[in-house]
């Protein structure tokens, strides 16, 4: 069996076609590595863990954001469907499938998205822990961010940012509630369309859309709006 790929390349912008023999268990990441090693060493893409943990290998596959290391090639090999591979939408392209996500990372850093403890060793009840765990599962792959229609229309901070912000609404250890609320407002939280596209794109089932809806009902925020 063979797999057919159409990979978006930059400089000059074009789609390159490749046909590779399929081996049992091959993923899209395996195929990209084969292309790089056996056909074209100039192909650029990001990958690190190969296990769906680091979030670096997210690309657009037939129009939908996916982790290349988790995308199995078997269905494509069986049906003969061409796999169109493109960089994630909504980010500047550095080269081929590599996009610039530094702006988003900087924003998260500026917002100081880490717990600022009120007091040492404050216990967290298990039900609260379950609530804040969701956002912690986010691997920063930017799939949700790239699939959200609002991030391209306005200064909307986006599902990834709000999924991370969500925990501070519930984490009893955090001492900076005011700043969290401010950031949610600055990021235009209330412009979420509730279309759930971000949740459908998330490979870790974080469900950012649900977290955004919960964030909207957070005590201080709901009073402010």
Contact residues for ligand FES (CB under 6 A)? 47-50, 52-57, 67, 69
Q: Minimum distance between the CB of residue 216 and ligand FES, rounded to whole angstroms?
A: 30
Looking at beta carbons only, is 37 or 153 nearer to ligand FES?
37
Angle of helix 208-216 relative to helix 159-170, nearest 10 degrees, comes to 50
* Bond preceding residue 115 cis, omega within 30 of 0: no
Which C-beta is closer to ligand FES: that of 187 or that of 208?
A: 208
Query: Which CB, 35 or 57, lies closer to ligand FES?
Result: 57
Smallest gap, in angstroms, from Cβ of residue 50 to ligand FES? 5
Q: In angstroms, give the least distance from the CB of 30 to ligand FES.
A: 11
Q: In terms of DSSP bridges, do strands 93-95 and 83-86 run parallel, antiparallel, or are they unpaired?
A: unpaired
Shortest distance in whole angstroms from residue 182 CB to ligand FES:
32
Cβ proximity to ligand FES, 20 vs 69, nearer residue: 69
């Amino acid at each position: 069996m063979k797999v057919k790929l159409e990979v978006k390349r930059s400089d000059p912008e074009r789609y390159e076609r490749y046909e590779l023999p399929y081996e049992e268990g091959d993923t899209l990441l395996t195929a990209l590595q084969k292309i790089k090693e056996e056909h074209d060493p100039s192909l650029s893409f990001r990958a690190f863990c190969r296990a769906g943990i680091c979030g670096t290998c997210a690309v657009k596959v037939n129009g939908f954001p996916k982790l290349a290391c988790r995308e199995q090639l078997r269905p494509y090999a069986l049906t003969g469907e061409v796999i169109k591979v493109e960089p994630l939408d909504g980010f500047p392209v550095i080269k081929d499938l590599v996009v610039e996500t530094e702006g988003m990372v900087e924003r998260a850093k500026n917002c100081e998205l880490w717990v600022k403890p009120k007091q040492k060793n404050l216990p967290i009840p298990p039900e609260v822990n379950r609530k804040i765990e969701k956002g912690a599962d986010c691997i920063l792959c930017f799939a949700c961010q790239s699939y959200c229609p609002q991030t391209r229309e306005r200064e909307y901070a986006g599902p990834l940012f709000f999924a991370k912000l969500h925990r501070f609404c519930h984490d009893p250890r955090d001492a900076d509630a005011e700043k969290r609320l401010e950031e949610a407002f600055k990021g235009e939280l209330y412009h979420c369309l509730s279309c759930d596209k971000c949740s459908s794109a998330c490979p870790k089932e974080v469900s950012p859309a649900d977290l955004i809806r919960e964030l909207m009902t957070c005590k201080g925020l709901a009073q402010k709006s």
